[in-house]
Amino acid sequence: MKPRPLTVKGVYQSLQKIAISKGTGSQENKQRIVEKLLQDTRGAEESRYIVRTLVQNLRIGAVKTTMLIALARAFLYSKPDGADFAIRSQQELARLKKEDLAAVYNNAEEIVKASYARHPDYNDLIPCLLEIGVTEELLVRCGLQLHIPLRPMLGSITRDLSEMLTKLQGRDFTCEYKYDGQRAQVHCDEAGKVSIFSRHLENMTEKYPDLVSLVPQIRGESVSSFILEGEVVAVDQGTGELQAFQVLTNRAKKNVDIGTIKINVCLFSFDLMYLNGTPLLDRSFRERRELIRSLFVEIPNRFTWVKSIDATSADSEAVLEFFKSATDTKCEGIMVKVLDNASKSNNLEPLETPNNDIDKPESNPNTKGGRRKALLSTYEPDKRLESWLKVKKDYSTSSETLDLIPVGGWHGQGRKAKWWSPILLAVRNPETGSLEAVTKCMSGFTDKFYQANKDKYTEGSANVISRPSYVEYYGEPDVWFEPQEVWEMAFADITLSPTYTAAIGLVSDERGLSLRFPRFLRVREDKSIDEATTSDYLALLWRKQFERSQKEESGPSAPDAGLGWQEE
DNA sequence: GATGACTGCCC
DNA sequence: ATTCTGC
DNA sequence: GCAGAATGGGCAGTCATC
A498 CA to B2 C1' distance (Å): 19
A48 and A167 fall within a common domain: no
Q: Is the CB of A519 under 7 A from strand B?
A: no
Q: Are residues A183 and A277 in the same domain?
A: yes
- Strand D lies under 7 A from the Cβ of residue A372: yes
Amino acid letter at A293? R
Backbone angles phi and psi of A260, in degrees to 5: -110, 10
Residue A507 within a domain: yes
What's the rounded Cα separation, in Å, for the pair A314 and A385?
22
**CA of A332: nucleotide with nearest C1':** B11
For residue A250, say whether its CB is under 7 Å from any atom of strand B. Answer: no
The amino acid present at A172, given as its one-letter code, is D
Decide if A412 is inside a domain: yes
Which bases in strand C are touched by protein, i.e. have an atom under 7 Å from a CB? 1-6
Cβ pair A79, A45 in contact under 8 A? no
Q: Which of chain A's residues 272-291 bind strand D, using a 7 Å CB cutoff?
A: none
Report which secondary-structure segment, H or E, holds A30.
helix A26-40
Distance separating alpha carbons of residues A294 and A239, to the nearest angstrom: 26
Task: Mark whether A178 is an active-site residue.
Answer: yes
The separation, in Å, between residue A217 CA and nucleotide D8 C1' comes to: 40
Distance A146 CA to B11 C1' (A): 26
CA distance A226 to A274: 5
Q: Domain boundary at A94, A118, A142, which?
A: A142
- Domain assignment present for residue A298? The answer is yes
Give yes or no for a contact between A445 and A418, defined as CB atoms under 8 angstroms apart. no
> For residue A473, what are the CA distances in angstroms to A15, A178, A326, A482?
37, 34, 36, 15
How many angstroms separate the CA of A180 from the C1' of B10? Answer: 11
In this complex, the residue with its CA at the shortest distance from the C1' of nucleotide D4 is A61
DSSP state of A421: E
> Is residue A474 in some structural domain?
yes
Smallest CA–C1' separation from A394, nucleotide: C2
Catalytic residue among A113, A178, A207, A337, which?
A178
Residues of A (431-460) placing their beta carbon closer than 7 angstroms to any atom of strand D are 439-443
Final residue belonging to a domain, choices A142, A175, A203: A142
DSSP state of A557: -
Return the CATH number at A217. Answer: 3.30.470.30
Q: What does the pLDDT read at residue A322?
A: 98
Q: Are residues A69 and A121 in the same domain?
A: yes
CB of A199 within 7 Å of some strand B atom: yes
Q: How far apart are CA A545 and CA A552, in angstroms?
A: 13
Distance in Å, residue A474 CA to nucleotide D16 C1': 23
Taking CA atoms, A440 is separated from A154, A212, A447, A469, A516, in Å, by: 27, 39, 18, 19, 11
Q: Which nucleotides of D are covered by protein (CB under 7 A)?
A: 1-16
Nucleotide in closest CA–C1' contact with A517: D8
Give residue A91's pLDDT.
Answer: 86
**DSSP states along A299-316:** BTTTEEE--EEEE-TT-H
Residues A304 and A421 in one domain: no
Same domain, A174 and A191: yes
C-alpha to C-alpha distance for A531 and A402, rounded to whole angstroms: 11
Task: Give yes or no for CB of A425 within 7 Å of strand B.
Answer: no
Shared domain check, A278 and A174: yes
A194 and A316 fall within a common domain = yes
Residue A242 forms beta bridges with which residues? Answer: A235
Question: Which positions in strand B are less than 7 Å from the protein's CB atoms?
Answer: 8-11
Q: Which 8-state DSSP code applies to residue A478?
A: S
Instruction: Give the helix/strand (H/E) hosting A76.
Output: helix A64-77
Structural domain containing residue A501: 401-551
Residues A296 and A419 in one domain: no
Rounded CA gap, A94 and A446, in Å? 42
A56 touches strand B (CB under 7 A): yes
Q: Identify whether A346 is part of a domain.
A: no
What sign results for the dihedral spanned by CA atoms A101, A103, A105, A108? negative
Q: Is the CB of A200 under 7 A from strand D?
A: no
- For residue A53, the model assigns a pLDDT of 83
* pLDDT at position A8: 86
Total domains in the fold of chain A: 4
Tens-binned pLDDT, residue by residue, of chain A (568 aa)? 667 899 988 998 998 888 888 888 888 888 899 999 999 999 888 888 888 888 777 777 667 888 899 999 999 989 999 998 988 888 888 888 888 888 999 999 999 999 999 999 999 999 999 999 999 999 999 999 999 999 999 999 999 999 999 999 999 999 999 999 999 999 999 999 999 999 999 999 999 999 999 999 999 999 999 999 999 999 999 999 999 999 999 999 999 999 999 999 999 999 999 999 999 999 999 999 999 999 999 999 999 999 999 999 999 999 999 999 999 999 999 999 999 998 654 444 333 333 333 333 333 334 434 445 688 999 999 999 999 999 999 999 889 999 999 999 999 998 999 999 999 999 999 999 999 999 999 999 999 999 999 999 999 999 999 999 999 999 999 999 999 999 999 999 999 999 999 999 999 999 999 999 999 999 999 999 999 999 999 999 999 987 765 544 333 333 333 333 333 3
Q: Which of A353, A375, A329 is nearest to A155 (CA)?
A: A375
A198 with A269, same domain: the answer is yes
Based on the domain organization, do A51 and A77 belong to the same domain?
A: no
One domain for residues A198 and A103: no
pLDDT of residue A241: 96
Tell me, yes or no, whether A292 lies in a domain.
Answer: yes
Q: What's the CA A1/C1' D12 distance, rounded, in angstroms?
A: 40
Taking residue A522's Cβ as centre, other Cβ atoms within 10 Å add up to 12
Concatenated DSSP letters of A213-254:
HHHHHHB-TT--SEEEEEEEEEB-TTT--B--HHHHTTS--S
Residue type at A267 in one-letter notation: L
Q: How far is CA A168 from the centre of its chain?
A: 23
Domain with residue A486: its CATH number is 2.40.50.140
A204, A97: one domain: no
pTM (predicted TM-score): 0.90
Q: Is the CB of A166 under 7 A from strand D?
A: no
Backbone angles phi, psi at A104, to 5 degrees: -65, -50
Within a domain: A388: no
Cα(A517)–Cα(A491) distance, integer angstroms:
5
In chain A, residues 7 through 66 whose Cβ sits under 7 angstroms from any atom of nucleic acid strand D: 22-28, 57, 59-66
Q: Is the CB of A182 under 7 A from strand B?
A: yes
Domain-embedded: residue A568:
no
Q: Separation of CA A96 and C1' C1 in angstroms? A: 44
Nucleic strand D contacts from chain A, 213-242, CB < 7 Å: none
From the CA of A390, how many Å to the C1' of C5?
Answer: 23
SS3 A501: coil
Spatial distance from the CA of A281 to the C1' of B7 (Å) = 36
**Does nucleic acid strand B have an atom less than 7 angstroms from the CB of A183?**
yes
The nucleotide whose C1' lies nearest the CA of A520 is C3
Distance in angstroms (rounded) separating the CA atoms of residues A398 and A395: 9
| Rounded distance in angstroms from the CA atom of residue A486 to the C1' atom of nucleotide B3 | 38
A254 CB inside 7 Å of strand B: no
Is the CB of A415 less than 7 A from some atom of nucleic acid strand D? yes
Asked if the Cβ of residue A198 lies within 7 A of any atom of strand B, the reply is: yes
Could you give the 3-state DSSP secondary structure of residue A371? coil
Neighbour tally for A151: CB within 10 Å: 19
What is the 8-class DSSP label of residue A500? -
Nearest-CA residue relative to C1' of C4: A446
End residue of a domain, out of A338, A367, A393: A338
State, as a whole number of angstroms, the distance between the CA of A83 and the C1' of B11. Answer: 46
